[in-house]
Amino acid sequence: MRSAWIPFTLWLAGAAWVFARPIEPAHGLPIPDPEKTALSVGVVRLGDELSRLGIELPPEGRALLPDVQVLHKAVAWALVHEEFQSTNEPAVARRLLDLGFARAAELRAGRPGWPMATGLVVRGFVSRVDGSIQPYGVVVPPGWIRGGRLDVWLHGRDDRLTELRFLGERLRSPGEFAPADALVVHPYGRYCNAFKFAGETDVLEAMTHAVKAYGADVHRLAIRGFSMGGAGAWHLAVHHPGLWRAAAPGAGFAETAGYTHILEKEPGLPEWERRLWHWYDATDYAANLRQLPLLAYSGELDPQRQAARMMDQALVAEGMTLDQVIGPGVEHRYEPGAKRELARRFDGWMATPAPELESLDLTTFTLRYPAGEGRVWARFEGLGRHWERARLRARRLAPGQFDVTTENVTAFSLRPDLPASGWMGVTVDGAQVSREAGPGPLWFERQNGRWRLASATPATGKRPGLQGPIDDAFMDPFLVVVPTGRSRLPAVDAWVQGGWRKFTNDWRAQFRGDVRIKRDVEVTPDDLAAYNMIVWGDPDSNRLLQRMQGHLPVDWGRRTLAVGQAKFAVAEHVPSFIAPNPLNPAHYVVVNSGHTFASWEGTNARQTPRLPDWAVWKLREGAPPVVEQAGFFSEKWGP
């Protein structure tokens, strides 16, 4: 556990006291009343038609409704939140409404044409994170044949990138690269967060949606991007190395400290925040690039060439070097000759499916990124200590024969393709662990210093998708649960009531969705089975929290709040924390917190978690609260 007094003015975090800089109405342009009225009428009409279609269409028709809903949302939100950013955007809104009505008519007639259209197409999907409709664009080449290549392209930074603006661009431009044989997917990525957190989940969901819709080859997926999109391509390449045939980041940033110089600007930064840079710093995961080819691009004079330099240093430390193309004499853009060279080399890789991997060299700092996807057939299942480097090296010696070495790993699994019956010979850290096995994963765990076969992933402790910190809960489906009661402590009650309302507003502004929300008395067993619970209140006010009392790593009594040996007076302290939900340990409960990072603060590289697994806030009369103490729970979810 770590002690620190963190001023509220620096830590606009915990309890969702996050200032998420919205796309501010003051920066929007007023539009003439007749135009605004006409658009509003169109939004209402299209909304009514969507409601009717949701009832009347057969299942296959309803599955395409997000492709209409995304057009409706883009115009509706621009009107409600006054987000028109340029004089041409009312015309864009009219075009989107016209497209929405045309698609609705095609659905009603049972003849939707856009799923088979070529050229520039805009699509939508229902986010599993918050149930919101999220857009993506797709460039479908003429003569597209199912089973072809798919490139994911990540856009650059635009802190006013509404859905309206994004969809207008996707209907106007194919983007930086549009290979003749490739389906190119352009995710929105939740506005302007460098494709992290819910933006990262959206990239993978948009890609999965397009793979299914267009029949792309999952062995020929590419991740590419420039500027902020380059930063996204760096992190998605190293954190999900098994998914991609190849990666091509351009410029961007690859880590936090060097790019932002934050340690010089804020020398008192808490140790837990510095540790949490291991979540997204691509330099920490450089070893994972042994699993795929990566070709970087930088302009010779671009300050963001720093990303490639940092990644090259990290790769040299791993015995590799960075393969890159440099645009001579240019700053933050593609130089034409270098762009052609990059395309030529990259297209050569993408012409064939990804080869099988006979050996793996994997690294992670958190079970949020356990590997085990796509071509990568080994997966981290337990770590000795989170936020320290873990390593898993595995070689296929012969059919059914593997050699594995580990560092800071307590459990792992292998997913070899085996015949119905075959002898498995696995050596782990020099010790033979064998059995006769059929198809499917093999699980291994370390107990009392020795490796043994296990039946499945460990049932307790931190494990993939259930490892914290607080922000991790907002990358998967979640439900906000607000109290119906009142705290006996007015200061706590005011803090809670303000906190959950601010979180829901900030989520809309920064993550472009309306959260699922229920009162504590409305939560059902189905909800507990489906969602991470984001619970606001204290044991007096929230009935769901009352049911969890005595089964959480934070002991919240009538007078004393305790986290391990640390004790705090309840009258002036409130906790924020994450833990397995005692009512369904397959999901999280988060108490009194939303996402813990502020808006992009001038650079997306500062969009990193600001709080660890738990924090205790001190409430002060007439002054903002401060974080008095914070830390990480143990690997067994203990204090």
Domain 114-350 CATH superfamily: Alpha/Beta hydrolase fold, catalytic domain (3.40.50.1820)
Segment 142-187, tens digit of pLDDT? 999 999 999 999 999 998 999 999 999 999 999 999 999 999 999 9
Segment 195-225, tens digit of pLDDT? 999 999 999 999 999 999 999 999 999 999 9
CB 384 within 8 A of CB 390: yes
Segment 413-471, tens digit of pLDDT? 998 765 545 667 899 999 998 766 566 788 999 999 999 988 776 668 999 999 999 99
> How large is the average pLDDT for residues 382-387?
97
pLDDT of residue 458: 67
Share of the chain above pLDDT 90, in %: 87
Strand, coil or helix: what is 369?
coil
Segment 221-277, tens digit of pLDDT? 999 999 999 999 999 999 999 999 999 999 999 999 999 999 999 999 999 999 999
Q: Is the peptide bond before 112 cis (omega within 30 degrees of 0)?
A: no
The tokens for 635 are 């690997």
Residues 6+ apart with CB under 8 A from 505: none
> How large is the average pLDDT for residues 50-78?
97
Strand, coil or helix: what is 629?
strand
pLDDT of residue 460: 80
The pLDDT-based confidence of 20 (bands split at 50, 70, 90) is very low
pLDDT of residue 11: 31
Q: What is the pTM of this model?
A: 0.94
pLDDT of residue 504: 96
Is the pLDDT confidence value at 29 over 60? yes
CA distances from 82 to 22, 29, 166, 505 (A): 11, 8, 16, 15
- Residue 138 is which amino acid? V
pLDDT of residue 603: 87
Is the pLDDT confidence value at 14 over 80? no
Count of Cβ atoms closer than 10 Å to residue 344 Cβ: 10
Segment 386-401, tens digit of pLDDT? 999 999 999 999 887 8
Where are the extended beta strands (E) located within 429-485? 431-437, 442-447, 450-454, 478-482
> How large is the average pLDDT for residues 497-525?
96
pLDDT of residue 415: 87
Count of Cβ atoms closer than 10 Å to residue 93 Cβ: 27
Which ranges in the chain are annotated with CATH 3.40.50.1820? 114-350
How many angstroms separate the CA atoms of 395 and 416, rounded? 11
Segment 520-534, tens digit of pLDDT? 999 999 999 999 999
Segment 104-143, tens digit of pLDDT? 999 999 999 999 999 999 999 999 999 999 999 999 999 9
- Identify the bridge partners of residue 558 per DSSP, sorted by sequence position: none
How many angstroms separate the CA atoms of 140 and 182, rounded? 8
Average pLDDT over all residues of the chain: 92
DSSP H or E stretch at residue 38:
helix 33-56
pLDDT of residue 400: 79
The pLDDT-based confidence of 16 (bands split at 50, 70, 90) is very low
The pLDDT-based confidence of 23 (bands split at 50, 70, 90) is very low
Among 370-384, 493-507, 598-612, the range scoring the smallest mean pLDDT is 598-612
Is the pLDDT confidence value at 482 over 70? yes
